A and B are shown apart, each in its own frame.
Chain A
Amino acid sequence: MSAPPVYLDAATAAPLHPVARQALLAALDDGWADPAKLYARARRARQLLDAAREATAQTLGVRPDELSFTPGGTAAAHSAVLGGLAGRRRAGDTLVHSAIEHSAVLHAAQRHVADGGTAVSVPVDRLGRLDRDAWSAAVAAPGVAVAALIAASHEVGTVQPVAEAGAACAAAGVPLAVDAAQVVGRLPVPAGWSILTASAHKWGGPPGVGLLVVRKGTRWESPWPADEREAGRTPGVVNLPAVVAAAASLRAVAADAAAEAARLAPLVDLIRARVAAEVPDVEVVGDPVERLPHLVTFSCLYVDGEALLHALDRRGFAVSSGSSCTSSTLRPSHVLEAMGVLSHGNVRVSLHRETTAAEVDRFLAELPQVIAELRAEAGVVGL
């Protein structure tokens, strides 16, 4: 009998939290009507939506009218960037962003450039830390409309200096959009942002729910065709059952976040230490200290990333990779590229509330053999 599968890709999607499941099932029965209509069913749906917004805003420490639910984290990131640019078009047409933003932010930047705008990418160091001086200079330059910084890298886990970057933006009068997808529900939300985005399936909510928070007083204009839903920030009827489930699960994970971080961070430390010690020719990447509690990335010399994912999958381990052979574009991860670290043979392991020490131990026990076998097959042992 083979061992049960071990899911280690929470940074892509965390398993549905039991509270989310419960809330989702209840809201499917109770929350299918359009909350904007004027009858009892609709009012019930409106109550559920208002309660979800109230609870989520409270968890994030923001005002309910600053928060809109979007059809996902990607839509939220697009809205944050393009809406921030639209709202400040009189101030300029430059978007400043770190080199390690999520592809959703970079795709919005590409759209902006294709439309005639400018985008300035700020580099990071080998550990994936923002170049603070370059950032401060970039946001202070003339014509900057908005800046975008990921709160913590979704690929290597390095936590970014959001408060400091935000202070530089504030001094220049530039709003800062922060992608907090890997942070919300795990770490306290940093200060210093004007626009904040997150994604429910990263914390154990259902897929298809994003958060877009626009601070009062921020010049932000919807980049989408007009629609009055969600304070005019995101078009279309929200997926209310999923929103209710997202809100309920966020409250639950936020309550446990400190304890979970304290439980998972030592497991990540263990992975960092044992992979470096027990796998030859491996580079464990990302900041070893200023990092997310649940995520670790490493690259194995001479190993094909896709072959590695398949070999791990055959043993029941689900992980992710930034190697080019695993991407549809056949390009290496822009994050690993910006850091200047090895991109092939790359594995990202991300833990969640159901991850046990025994699972991590099994992964660490089997990994060296998996890599040794792949190297033997490729004839690269001893290189």
Chain B
Amino acid sequence: MTVPAELLDCRGQRCPLPVIAVARRLPELPVGTVVRVLADDPAAAVDIPAWCRMRGQEFVGRITGPDGPGYDVRRSV
């Protein structure tokens, strides 16, 4: 199980804001770092994996926790 190094709380934000948040933060972290994006906008489920694909980053997976859906992204480039 992946333990994220950082949590980005994007609950209540509409797309593309959660994608923008991860796009801003991820390049500031070392390669290999995993960030978890908490986002309740249903578009995040589509757009965060799509962003990872377009940017060559790794989409680790979606988790469902007490805080709602979260999306784990690992900086790979």
Given the known interface contacts A324-B42, A337-B46, A343-B46, the answer about A283 and B16 at a Cβ–Cβ threshold of 8 Å is no
Answer whether A345 and B50 are a contact pair too, CB < 8 Å, given A324-B41, A324-B42.
no
- Which residues of chain A are near B29, meaning CB under 8 Å? none
Min CB–CB distance B52 → chain A (angstroms): 11
Contact A344 B47 (CB under 8 A): yes
The size of the chain A interface, using a CB distance under 8 A, is 24
Q: List A residues 314-350 near B (Cβ within 8 Å).
A: 323-325, 330-332, 336-337, 340-345
Contact of B16 among A303, A330, A337 (CB under 8 A): A303
6 contacts between A and B (CB under 8 A): A301-B19, A302-B19, A304-B14, A304-B16, A340-B46, A344-B47
- Residue B70 at the chain A interface, CB threshold 8 Å: no
A324 engages B14 (CB within 8 Å): yes
Asked whether, in the complex, the Cβ of B24 is within 8 Å of the Cβ of A344, the reply is no
A383, B57: Cα distance in complex, Å? 13
For B43, what are the chain A residues with a Cβ–Cβ distance below 8 Å? 323-324, 331-332, 343-344
* Contact mask for chain B residues 40-63; partner A; CB cutoff 8 A; 1 contact, 0 none: 011101110111011000000000
With a cutoff of 8 Å between Cβ atoms, the chain A residues found around residue B50 in the complex are 283, 299, 340-343
**For residue A331, which residue of chain B has the nearest CB?**
B42
The docked-state distance in angstroms from the alpha carbon of A324 to that of B17 is 13
Interface of B is mostly: helix
Give bound CA distance, A362 to B53, whole Å: 31
**Is A262 part of the binding interface, using a Cβ–Cβ cutoff of 8 Å?**
no
Q: Which of A281, A331, A343, A383 contacts B47 (CB 8 A)?
A: A343
> Looking across the interface, which residue of chain A has its beta carbon closest to that of B16?
A344
Interface residues of B (CB under 8 A from A): 14-16, 19-20, 23-24, 41-43, 45-47, 49-51, 53-54
- Nearest CB of chain A from residue B34's CB, rounded to whole Å: 19
**CB pair B46 A302 closer than 8 Å:** no
Give chain B nearest CB distance to A356 CB in angstroms: 33
Q: Which residues of the partner chain B approach A380 to less than 8 Å between Cβ atoms? A: 20, 23
**Assembly CA distance A43 to B14 (angstroms):** 58
Most chain A beta carbons < 10 A, residue from B19, B45, B47:
B47
On chain B, the residues within 8 Å of A357 by CB distance are none
Which A residues are CB-close (under 8 A) to B45?
A: 337
Q: B15 contacts which of A283, A324, A340 (Cβ < 8 Å)? A: A324
The answer to whether A231 has its CB under 8 Å from any CB of chain B is no
A378 interface contact, C-beta 8 A: yes
Chain A residues, CB < 8 A from B16: 301-304, 344-345
Tell me which residues across on chain B come within 8 A of A299, comparing CB atoms. Answer: 50
Q: A325-B14, A325-B15, A343-B50 are in contact. Are A383 and B23 (CB under 8 A)?
A: yes
Whether A332 pairs with B54 at a CB distance below 8 angstroms is: no
| Bound: A324/B39 CA distance, A | 14
Whether the Cβ atoms of A344 and B54 lie closer than 8 Å is no
The answer to whether A344 touches B23, judged by C-beta atoms less than 8 angstroms apart, is no
| The 6 residue pairs across chains A and B that have the minimum distance between CB atoms | A342-B50, A344-B16, A332-B43, A324-B43, A383-B23, A344-B15
User: Which among A283, A343, A380 has the highest number of chain B CB atoms within 10 Å?
Assistant: A343
Residues in chain B near residue A302, CB distance under 8 A: 16, 19-20, 23
A72 to B51, CA, bound (A): 38
Task: Assess whether B54 is in contact with A342, with CB atoms less than 8 Å apart.
Answer: yes
